[in-house]
Structure formats: C-alpha cells, structure tokens
Chains A and B, each alone.
Chain A
Amino acid sequence: MSASPDTPLLVTDRLTAMYGKFTAVKGVSLQFASNQVHALIGPSGCGKSTFIRTLNRMHEITPGGWITGRVLLGGEDIYAPRVNAMRLRRRVGMVFQKPTPFPTMSIYDNVASGLRVTARPSRAELHARVEEALRQAALWEEVKDRLHGSATALSGGQQQRLCIARTIAPRPEVILLDEPTASLDPLGTQRIEELLFDLKQHFTIVIVTHNMQQAARVSDTTTFFYLGSMVEHGKTRRIFTAPTNEQTEAYITGRFG
C-alpha cells in the first residue's frame, strides 16, 4: 500500500466529472506526492470543489454526479467495481467548508465516531486514539476538561479543528479540505494553517482554497483551475513567482477572479 517516495500517492488520469450533462471538471491529469500539502486554487465555479470531491467519491453522492477517467490511490483505481466507496472514504478523509460536528454527540463521541464505524475498539484503545487525534488537531488542551460536553458549544474555529480531529482519528492516508477556513475568523484561520504543517508529517493533504495568500503560505504544490480545466500545476513557489500561463498570472496577480 505505501508508495515509494518517487511514485505519487494520489494520481488522477484524464478525470472528467459531470453533473448529468454538465461537465464540471474536464480531463484533469494530476499527481500528488505523499506527505505534502497540495493547494487547488481558481475562481468560483472553476471545478476545484467538484474535483476534490471525486477524490473520495463524494461527487457521486450528488444526484446526477458521475465521472470518466481514473483516480489512483497507491496505484489502485478507486473507481474500480470491486472498490467499496465507504471503505475508500475511511482512507481518504474530508473536511468541509462549514464545521459539521454531529450536534447530538459529545466532543469525545464526535472524534470517536469514525473509529466506531469500522470496528469495536476497546475503551483504552478508543481513549488513546481520541486523545491522539485531538492532540494532532491542536485541540486537546482546550477540550480535555470537557470531552463529554456538547460539540456545538465550541467556537467555529474549535469546531473546525474538531472536524479535523474526527477526520484524522481513523488514520486516513489522504485528507481533503474543501475551503476549511472560509467560515472562520483570521485567528481561527491561522491556527488551521499552522496545523497543516504538522499534519503533513502523517498525511497527504489536498486543500481547496479561495485565498491565494493561503495557498502560498501553506502548500508545497499549487494547481490552478479555470472553467473546469487544469491550467497550471507546479511547485507553489514557482506558480506564484514565475507562472508560465497567462491566465494563472492574471489570477494570482488579482486581475480577475
């Protein structure tokens, strides 16, 4: 399962994503190396959110959603008939734009929820994994005294870090973040961004962002999407200093979008 350093962990091959007859993503081929942060940028409606949702097969939940092409995780096609989408989503976790803690569950149960789906872990193991996930999400110190309190009583930024903890608790290989700071204040945003540096030690991260400064700050590679197509992909430093494509340059210098 573990890819050797030179083979990328996640690969898309001429990936096209449709809603019924509408094409949202057009023939995108990309490679994402492991233990890096990969940013997807582009104006609204450029297909970056749809693209990220194809990576854990959440796209097909939308009525009319279907794809052509391939998505390879560790060399395996995740759209192959024998692949179970539910098992796949435990390997490729996702955090959404708005924090989505389960309102009826405590902080502890929220983090444990992903672990309880797969198996019945022992109490001790569950405790250890919940603590580990909350520490990795930089939330442990703030919630350790109220683990059994309401998850919705947390601030927006804390809720989002709770969702990150919930996503990483089952130890996925890839974490997808779909504009995770769009609903947060600057301080909450900063904490999540700092967190990404630690998280990439353990996970491969793909993040959709509206905010170009954010992409420049947190990512190793950046991909620019426009009108459903992948326009340019490369190391973040190069994309932001020497883009080869005119549209990319126009976008990152703020001339449109």
Chain B
Amino acid sequence: MNRRDFRRFKSGIMVALMVGAVVVAVLPLLLILGTLVAKGASSLNLAFFTRTPVPAGESGGGVVHAIVGTLMIVGMAGLIGLPLGIGAGIYSAEYPGSRLTSITRFVADVMNGTPSIVVGVFAWTWIVANQGHFSGAAGSVALALIMIPMVMRTTEEIINLVPHSLREAALALGYPRWRTSLTVVVRTCLPGIVTGSLLAVARVAGETAPLLFTALGSQFMGLDLNRPMAALPLTVYTYATGPYEEWHRLAWATALVLILVVLILSVAARIATRERFE
C-alpha cells in the first residue's frame, strides 16, 4: 500500500469512527423522545393541562398544579439567580485580573461540578430545617444556587467575545468605565446573555433532587411559595415510583410535558440568538 492510499485509508477509518460517535450520541436522545411520545402522548388532553390529580384508583385528572408549581419555583429561582449570576459574570469579565475574580471563578467552577443533590441538602439544612417546613421558596433558592455559577460563566465568556476595539472606542469618547461596560459592551452581547440565561433556566427546570429536599411536592394546586409545592420533575418521580398502572401512565405524560417546557425555552433561546445576526 503506497503512502497516499494509506492516508486515504486512515481518513476513512477516522470518518467512520466519528460518524459512529454521532450515531451513538444522538440515538439515546431520539429513543428518549420516542419513548416519551409513544407512552405519554396518548394521555395528553385538555384536562391534563387544566385539572389537578384525582385520588388514586380513579382515572383522569391532570398536572396543572405541577405546571404552575414549576413555573413559580423556576421563575422565582430566575429572579434570584439571574441578576446575581449575570452581575458576577460582568464583574469577572470587566476585572479579569482582580483577586476577587479569580476567587469567584474558582468557586463557580467548583459549584458547577457539585451534584445538585448536595445543593438540595444544603438548602434543606439552612432553610427547611430552620423554618421547620418545606416550601417552594426553598426550592427556588436551591435552583438559584445551581443557576448562579452557570449563568456567571456563560455571561463572562460571552462578554469576552465583544471586540476590544469597541470598548476602546467608547472609552476614547470619554465614556466612564461603568458606562462603557453597560451601554456598549453588555448591550452588544445582550442576546447572548439572554440565551445563556434561558438555557440555565431550562436546565434547572428539570432538576429533581434539590426539590425533593425543599419544595417536597404536593397533590394540590397552590400559589403560596411559603408552602410545599408541586413541580413537574417531582410529579414524574412520585408517579413513576408509585404502585398504580394509571400513575405510570401519568408519569410518562408528565415527563413529556416537562420536556416540552424545556424545549420551548430552548427554542426561545435560539430565536433570541438568531436576531443578533440579522
């Protein structure tokens, strides 16, 4: 075999390996989606989105309490976590050499690697145990703690993509440092920051472990964040581990709803990025 054929042979092998890797990576995703649709779609109807659960043994009912719970808990988590994460990200990007930045970055990287159940236990110890009861708000705090380092790191990376020349142009016009950061640098990469934030929201919307220790779950519709609250991942968990055939059916349908919520958020994130290049 001459040298050129050997190179072609190597190239072919590598391409085949990579195609194989893509198939292996995508296959589980398609299988998950397919299974959810196959087992859950048949249970989806209007009542599923508008009704609360019925007693075990009866059929029908819905998960509106969990949809509302997830929206409230995740919404509150976003209100706490996004400003802190974005603020810390802006600081780290604007003052890359400062000691506070290197400490913050290190802590954020460690927190990004912390299993979410550890965050749940932490929130249980400090909030639930102190207050003496489970609450949706404690769940929000736990989810916010997961969001902050994620949002911080993406914000920092996105700000670093803004060309240095743009910053200099603003400073040369006599812009103060803070105004350069906010009205030129951050403003320019705002779509990217929005995308990063939405992805972080989508990611924590599916978290189960931290909510087990904090929001606990509930069978009833509730709008009080100071009380135990239902959430989609918790409902999936409860139904899936329950003894009834009907519950397993509901678990599949709830999981499908959860995926749909995350999907909607991800698509919104995509749309936010696309506008940037038009």
Binding site for B on A (CB under 8 A): 56, 58, 61, 63, 86-90, 93-94, 96, 98, 100, 102-104, 113-114, 117-118, 163, 166-167, 170
Whether B172 pairs with A93 at a CB distance below 8 angstroms is yes
Q: List 20 A-B contacts (CB under 8 A).
A: A58-B168, A61-B168, A86-B174, A87-B174, A88-B174, A89-B174, A90-B174, A93-B173, A96-B168, A98-B165, A100-B165, A102-B166, A102-B169, A104-B187, A113-B173, A114-B174, A117-B173, A117-B174, A167-B172, A170-B173
Q: Does B57 touch A at the CB level, under 8 Å? A: no
Q: Does B225 touch A at the CB level, under 8 Å? A: no
A102-B170, A104-B187 as given contacts; A86 in contact with B175, CB under 8 Å: yes
Q: How far is the CA of A242 from the CA of B165 in the complex (A)?
A: 38
Distance (whole angstroms) from the CB of B190 to the closest CB of chain A? 8
Q: Does B179 touch A at the CB level, under 8 Å? A: yes
Q: Does B104 touch A at the CB level, under 8 Å? A: no
Q: How far is the CA of A102 from the CA of B175 in the complex (A)?
A: 13
- Beta-carbon nearest neighbor of B176 in chain A: A86
A102-B188, A104-B188, A117-B179 as given contacts; A58 in contact with B166, CB under 8 Å: no
Q: Does B36 touch A at the CB level, under 8 Å? A: no
Distance (whole angstroms) from the CB of A64 to the closest CB of chain B? 11
- Beta-carbon nearest neighbor of A166 in chain B: B173
Q: Which residues of B contact A167 (CB under 8 A)?
A: 172-173
Per-position 1/0 for B188-217, Cβ under 8 A of A: 101000000000000000000000000000
A61-B168, A96-B168, A100-B166 as given contacts; A170 in contact with B174, CB under 8 Å: yes
Q: Which residues of B contact A98 (CB under 8 A)?
A: 165
Q: Does B28 touch A at the CB level, under 8 Å? A: no
Q: How far is the CA of A104 from the CA of B176 in the complex (A)?
A: 18
Whether B171 pairs with A96 at a CB distance below 8 angstroms is no
5 A-B pairs besides A117-B174, A163-B169, A166-B173 with CB distance below 8 A are A58-B171, A89-B173, A96-B165, A100-B166, A167-B173
Distance (whole angstroms) from the CB of A150 to the closest CB of chain B? 10
A-B contact count (CB 8 A): 57
Whether B97 pairs with A100 at a CB distance below 8 angstroms is no
Q: Which residues of A contact B97 (CB under 8 A)?
A: 63
Distance (whole angstroms) from the CB of A159 to the closest CB of chain B? 11
Whether A114 pairs with B168 at a CB distance below 8 angstroms is no
Q: Which residues of A contact B170 (CB under 8 A)?
A: 102, 113
Q: Which residues of A contact B175 (CB under 8 A)?
A: 86, 117
Whether B188 pairs with A103 at a CB distance below 8 angstroms is yes
Distance (whole angstroms) from the CB of A110 to the closest CB of chain B? 10
Q: Does B121 touch A at the CB level, under 8 Å? A: no
Whether B173 pairs with A96 at a CB distance below 8 angstroms is no
Distance (whole angstroms) from the CB of A92 to the closest CB of chain B? 9
Q: How far is the CA of A163 from the CA of B172 in the complex (A)?
A: 11
Q: Does B184 touch A at the CB level, under 8 Å? A: yes
Whether B184 pairs with A102 at a CB distance below 8 angstroms is yes
Q: How far is the CA of A94 from the CA of B82 in the complex (A)?
A: 36
Whether B172 pairs with A56 at a CB distance below 8 angstroms is yes
Q: How far is the CA of A94 from the CA of B171 in the complex (A)?
A: 10
Distance (whole angstroms) from the CB of A143 to the closest CB of chain B? 18
Q: Which residues of A contact B166 (CB under 8 A)?
A: 100, 102-103
- Beta-carbon nearest neighbor of B171 in chain A: A61
Distance (whole angstroms) from the CB of B195 to the closest CB of chain A? 16
Q: How far is the CA of A87 from the CA of B171 in the complex (A)?
A: 11
A102-B166, A102-B188, A117-B179 as given contacts; A94 in contact with B174, CB under 8 Å: no
Whether A100 pairs with B168 at a CB distance below 8 angstroms is yes
Distance (whole angstroms) from the CB of A55 to the closest CB of chain B? 11
Distance (whole angstroms) from the CB of B109 to the closest CB of chain A? 23
- Beta-carbon nearest neighbor of A87 in chain B: B174
Q: Which residues of A contact B174 (CB under 8 A)?
A: 86-90, 114, 117-118, 170
From A86, A90, A170, residue with most partner B Cβ within 10 Å: A86
Q: How far is the CA of A31 from the CA of B163 in the complex (A)?
A: 34
Distance (whole angstroms) from the CB of B7 to the closest CB of chain A? 40
Q: How far is the CA of A88 from the CA of B174 in the complex (A)?
A: 7
Whether B188 pairs with A96 at a CB distance below 8 angstroms is no
Distance (whole angstroms) from the CB of B125 to the closest CB of chain A? 43
Distance (whole angstroms) from the CB of B213 to the closest CB of chain A? 43
Q: How far is the CA of A219 from the CA of B235 in the complex (A)?
A: 76
